Amino acid sequence: MKIRPARIQYKDGQEREYYPSYREEIIEEALRKIACDRLNGVYLDDRAGVQFTLYALRKELWARGHALNLPDLLEGLKICNLASLSVQKADGTAIIQAPIFPVLLVASKDDWLQNPKEARCYVQFNPLVTASIDHLTYRQFDYLTYMSYKHRLSRWLHKRLAHNYIQAGLLSPYTIRMSTILRDSGAYQSKRGNNNAREIDNALEELKTKRVLMGFTKATVRGPRNRLVDITYTLQPDMDFINEMKKANARLKRLSV
């Protein structure tokens, strides 16, 4: 996957480029939640999207511990609309290229000031979201817990488990390597392996406090001069997470019939 930054022009004429960050991540998740919970999800031209108000979006983010002022929220929406994602095969053949939000319609400032609770906006989700819905691969997961994490890596691990660890059980632990986590999550990689391991440990400990994991063990691989090469983590799921996976599997089975 290749990501091209969004270029935003400000009132003073200056232009700056931004890559999507954790702010844009939580904005997108909140909009998906609004689309599901409040029946604001819509299909236009066979593409999934959501109609919302900036007031409702700010309220949702504030309720989940991610309060944003209006300028930051608008900037985040613009970055999602202007940053381009390109997914390619190993041979360079393009699969899809599109922004996070291919279509963004934002209420005017006058509408916002006059009636912030009713000024309607619209976002079209990335085509991969529509494809996932159409093919019933969009799995149910615990949104409230996901939004409550302090560490971005905790959110990534939670979503990874929710999508891949569908056989979660006390007798079926989940195994993953430190190198895989660092490669797939896009997390910052320190030159010192011990720093990377510490960040992953912090994320896994947070998953324990949220009753996603009951515990985890580590098998460390070291090289010359005791240098840390890799770590294999064996994750033991908590019963709360196991029950969540059973509910998600049952829901998918009902939809697939």
128 plus 38 within the same structural domain:
yes
Q: What is the CATH number of the domain that holds 199?
A: 1.10.10.10
Q: Give the global pTM.
A: 0.88
Q: Is 90 exceeded by the pLDDT of residue 193?
A: no
Q: Look-up: residue for tokens 């029950």? A: 243
Considering 85, 102, 134, which residue would you say is the last residue of a domain? 134
Long-range interactions of 23-27: CB distance < 8 A, separation 24+: 23/68, 23/72, 23/76, 24/76, 24/79, 24/80, 24/83, 24/100, 25/152, 25/155, 26/61, 26/64, 26/66, 26/147, 27/57, 27/61, 27/68, 27/73, 27/76, 27/77, 27/80
pLDDT of 117-147, one tens digit each?
778 899 999 999 998 888 888 888 899 999 9
Q: For the chain, what is the domain count? A: 2
pLDDT of 2-49, one tens digit each?
899 999 998 888 999 999 999 999 999 999 999 988 778 889 888 999
One-character DSSP codes across 9-29: E-TTS-EEEE---HHHHHHHH
Considering 91, 110, 134, which residue would you say is the last residue of a domain? 134
129 plus 150 within the same structural domain:
no
Q: Is 90 exceeded by the pLDDT of residue 245?
A: yes
Considering 100, 115, 134, which residue would you say is the last residue of a domain? 134
Instruction: Extract the runs of DSSP E, i.e. beta strands, from the chain.
Output: 2-4, 6-9, 15-18, 41-44, 47-53, 84-88, 94-99, 103-105, 120-124, 174-177, 213-222, 228-237
61 plus 93 within the same structural domain:
yes
167 plus 242 within the same structural domain:
yes
Task: Report the distance separating Cα 113 and Cα 229, nearest Å.
Answer: 56
Give the pLDDT mean for 50-77.
93
Q: Which amino acid is at 129?
A: V
pLDDT of 87-114, one tens digit each?
888 887 778 889 999 999 998 777 776 7
The pairing of strands 94-99 and 47-53 is unpaired
110 plus 164 within the same structural domain:
no
54 plus 177 within the same structural domain:
no
Q: Look-up: residue for tokens 């890596």? A: 153
pLDDT of 39-52, one tens digit each?
788 898 889 999 99
14 plus 123 within the same structural domain:
yes
